[in-house]
Structure 1
Amino acid sequence: MYETVVRGWYEKMGNQLFHKIGEVSELIKIPHQTVRRYISKHGHHLSTKKQGKSVLVAEESLETLKIIKSLYDDGKVTEEVDSHLASNGVPMTITVPDESEKMVRVDLREVLVQQQSQIESLHEKLDEQIKVNHEQSEINKQVLEEVKSSKEWQRKRDENLMEVMRELLEVKKQTAIALEVKNEPEPKKKGFFSRLLGK
């Protein structure tokens, strides 16, 4: 740590130690214009904080600034420097408002890991829901088949009942005719003389 820095050169915020651009320039032996350019181009890899018009750089970002300088000294371009930092585990940070509307820096890599975890959880829930929906669909098909079967059975039962009722009506009709014929008084037989005389 650079604790030997004269008081006033740094500001301690929470557990973080922040330095002004001029202080950073002296600590890591990089001109302050270059430090500003690095912050402008690679600020998403650095932990910085605005205080009024000044930009403060966190102690933890000093090593990253040295790496950035080394990469540019090796002839790398901005995209290559960013790619190198990202692939070597230098966290990317973004500034977002928190619940109290204050701006807070968050590690983009952590956010992406959390989002990936949430996405995987959602995929698992979606797969589970698809499975449940498929099972429900199969149950619905079975119920539909049972309903169709039940309707067919009811239709046949109704047809059989109608046939039995027709047969019963026919039997009743035949019975009624037979009773009518039986109960009909037989015509009196004409006597011998009536028949002879034609009366």
Structure 2
Amino acid sequence: MLRDVLYRIDHPALSGVTLLGGLIDRGAGFIGIKGSGPKLQGTLYFSPWPRDLPQQYRDQITVKGMMVQFPDGTEYPIYKADAERPSKKAERDQMARHYRHQFSAKAEEISGVITAALGDRSSPTAEKILAGYLSNLQRNPERDMRMPEVMGYLRGLEAASILSDQQRTELSAAFKELAAFGASWNSFSDSR
């Protein structure tokens, strides 16, 4: 930690606590060794003791580098007060991975259905067009612009007797679901 930077602790019971230059909440305690004054590492001494923490932890929670360690060995990160909580970032990253996986699985499913419908009429150009539609539904600015093209593409495949009306309807719904997965993936990837 730097002495002149405001920090927070990524622990539910300590989420409102700030650390600055070895002091806790500007006078509600300090980090260090009793009798030695504030330090950037050492034991957390609260005054008064936070009501959401068990009393048996009193004077046993330590600061080591950028981590707070509890007596049971669990550790929680210390982070700059104006930054995103590490646990929130990990949760957001997990959700982004979840929606990326759903997006990829749905894109493969759609690609498989259309490629099978095209059969021997498939070509590198047709595959490139399809891949372009699929990838464009991942990115926010292009998604809304491309959806009418996708629906036109499906109508074209139906008009060429490559897809039945039912297949076109099902693929339209699948493309809309793909776009929703892309939107969710983007929102968790970009948000803070």
TM-score, normalised to structure 2, is: 0.28
Tell which structure's C-alpha radius of gyration is larger: 1
Highest RCO, 1 vs 2 (Cα 8 Å, sep ≥ 6):
2
More helix by share: 1
